[in-house]
Structure 1
Amino acid sequence: MRPSLRSTATWLNGTTLAGLALARLARATDRRRLPGGVLVVGGYRLPWPRQDCLTVGSVILSRRPADWLLHPGRADLLAHEVRHIGQYALLGPLFWPAYWLACAWSYALTGSYGCRNVFECRAGLAAGGYPVDAPLRPWLARVRSSVASRPSRRPGGTRSPR
């Protein structure tokens, strides 16, 4: 999605306004405007979430100064957050419940909120600081292996390929 279209969509669906309101509530005042309508706001002071960055609409909020995120050594993290802006452009306010369901799914499977979260996977797990391959919870790994070891009930007695 083109950056200008992405930014327009997040304004129209209200998520950028929500991001600006959250920035104000968090007393984050250090602002840097980027091409494509992205706004990086530093100095986020709320206790939630624990990560260094949070994206709402076309607003990327950071606990650190805005220039921290714009450092060339953090280009991957910035790209990760910009991918979330595209997700907001597509889903609008539906992003929030969908994201939290994806967090719950990931946590239930692995104990990590991001590892199996489709939104974090598509934004780039490593770039976002998430574990790339957290193992399944032990009980789930046992269920998976027992299902995989069952003989197939296909005609002719052949196992289905996995």
Structure 2
Amino acid sequence: MSGWQAVKLVVNTINLSTLTGVLVGVLGRARFSRGPRGLFYATGYRLKFPVAGAFTIGNLILTKHDRAYFDEQPTLIKHEERHSWQYFCLIGLPMLPLYILAASWSLLRTGCPASRNIFERLAGLDDGGYTEYPVQSLGKTLSQAFSALRSHPRGQ
């Protein structure tokens, strides 16, 4: 672990973002272990939200998968580590509502929560396994959303 990675680990602990991640991991009944470069893993996460292969809160990367999932995806770890730096730069928990706003904006503009999400773009869309979708009209986005709702009625 480099000196700056150690600073990030300490700051993300003090700013409560990593501790919030631990709380989310406990609620999701995840198993915790050390990862590289001052990161930690929470594997076997059982909650259905958020819908993602992995997500980061502070210095903790959470996934429903087992630890081997990370070993097989080194670029994903780099992507998630960049998110841990975003928590560091935004002084922790303000990252969560800002991320939700950025994902909402991206969803409105492209139909995808990542394509125009500044946090995902800065973390590297490709490294995170995302496809970049073009900006489209709001009408097209709403039409796609309503079509998806019609094809998946409630209760099924």
Taking structure 2 as the reference length, the TM-score comes to 0.82
Q: 2:9 aligns with which of 7, 10, 15?
A: 7
Aligned residues between the structures: 137
Deviating beyond 3 angstroms after TM superposition, the runs of 4 or more aligned structure 1 residues are 138-141
Q: Map Cα deviations across residues 126-159 of structure 1 (whole Å, 9 max, x no partner).
A: 1112112x12214689xxxxxxxxxxxxxxxxxx
> 1 CA distance for matches of 2:137 and 2:88?
37
Distance 1:70 1:10 in 2: 24
Q: Is the 8 A contact 1:7 1:36 kept in 2?
A: no
Instruction: Indicate the percent of aligned positions where both proteins have the same amino acid.
Output: 34
Give the CA deviation at 1:116. Answer: 0.4
Query: 1:25-71: CA deviations, max 9, x gaps?
Result: 00011x33124321011100000112110111110001100221123
1:40 alignment counterpart: 41
Conserved in 2, the CA contact under 8 Å of 1:3 and 1:36? Answer: yes
Cross-structure match for 1:152: none
* Contiguous gaps of at least 5 residues in structure 2: 141-156
Quickly say closer, same or farther: Cα 1:108–1:37, change in 2 above 3 A: same
TM-score (norm 1): 0.79
Report the aligned-residue RMSD.
1.7
Which residue is 1:26 aligned to?
28
Partner of 2:152: none
Compare CA radii of gyration and give the structure with the larger one.
1
8 Å CA contact 2:108–2:138 kept in 1: the answer is no
Q: Which ranges in structure 1 are unaligned for 5 or more consecutive residues?
A: 142-162
8 A contact 1:33–1:39 mirrored in 2: yes
